Amino acid sequence: MPVKPLLHTVLVALALGLDEGAAFAAGVEPAGRRALRIHDPSTIVAADGAYWIFGTGKRVLAAKSPDLLAWTRLDPALSVAPGWAREVAPGNDRDHYWAPDVIRVGDLYHLYYSVSEFGKNTSAIALATSPSLDPSAPDHRWEDRGIVLRSGGDDDFNAIDPSVLQAADGRLWMAFGSFWGGLFLVELDPATGLRASPASPPLRLADADEIEAPTLHHRQGFYYLFFNVGLCCRGKASTYRVLVGRSRDVTGPYLDDEGRDLRAGGGREFLGGAGDFIGPGHATVLEENGREWAVVHFYDGSREGQPGLALRRLGWTDDGWPRVID
């Protein structure tokens, strides 16, 4: 192994709290690569002595890790397809569900996921809940709570790519969207996980050509909206990159560092591709052991463009903008 990648292996592993011997064994690669094939990673959750992540896959991909380095694929999160799924997306006959997010609300974990067909907005974001993330726990069982939000041909939004945030005041919010009219926001009821006001129209947060994959993050009085522009799912030809804007209010308006409104095509560049690290997307933020990490999928040019997982060290500028520092 060349000297620089080897040094990076040691430094990243030490930053994660491993000793130097574990650093060599873990085999952390440049650009934060992890040995997990995943697309649209959820927020990573630490619980029950492990780290848990979900992603696009048959009845929702699930995986766990003891240390954020080595990952093990688990059985699909949902043991069976919900009965309503084929009616929402009859062309999705593989029970392949997209872009989940997971959050703990009260005593339950809420798993939000998308049921759709590629290139269409005949879509739904659904919810399942469980007291535990660990499939071996006696109380583990994902219970279908039904559809949170649905879109169709008459809507100017696409009900996929949920990102859920609970604010300091306890209110629960979900950003979502892909192409069509851009990215939107709805409020959820913390007691049910479903929409607080189903009759209210979603609030537009951002718009641009080829926009999707929003993520909400709160830090030091600002709400940050990370999102993707470009095209995914094309392996080494993918053009995904991550932009960001921020607002003092979760409902916006979200602006970039030049004051441009995200609803009018604004957005500060956060993370793009470089070398074999192609098309990073679906960014979430992990706070662990006093450090922060940007969690993304990317297309690995050294592995014929296969989607993989990366954790990149996250820092902040003096004026409060996120930046990758590894």
Within 8 A by CB and 6+ apart from 205, the residues are 175, 177, 182, 183, 184, 185, 214, 225, 252, 254, 262, 263
From 40, 187, 256, 292, the catalytic residue: 40
Rounded to 5°, angle at Cα 312 from 171 and 222:
30
40 is catalytic: yes
Pairing status of strand 50-55 against strand 241-247: unpaired
3-class SS of residue 38: coil
Assign residue 9 a region: left if phi > 0, alpha if psi is -120 to 50, beta otherwise? Answer: alpha
C-alpha torsion angle, residues 318, 280, 164, 119 (rounded to 10): 140
From 29, 101, 207, 212, the catalytic residue: 212
Sign, Cα dihedral of 132, 136, 141, 147:
positive
Structure tokens at 306: 């296969």
| DSSP output for 101-123 | EEEEETTEEEEEEEE--TT---E
Q: Among 149, 96, 146, which residue's Cα sits nearest to residue 121? A: 149
Question: H helices of the chain, where?
Answer: 3-15, 20-26, 85-88
Residue 240 near residue 233, CB atoms below 8 Å: no
Separation between Cα atoms, residue 198 and residue 196, nearest integer Å: 6
117 is catalytic: no
Q: Which residues belong to the active site? A: 40, 212
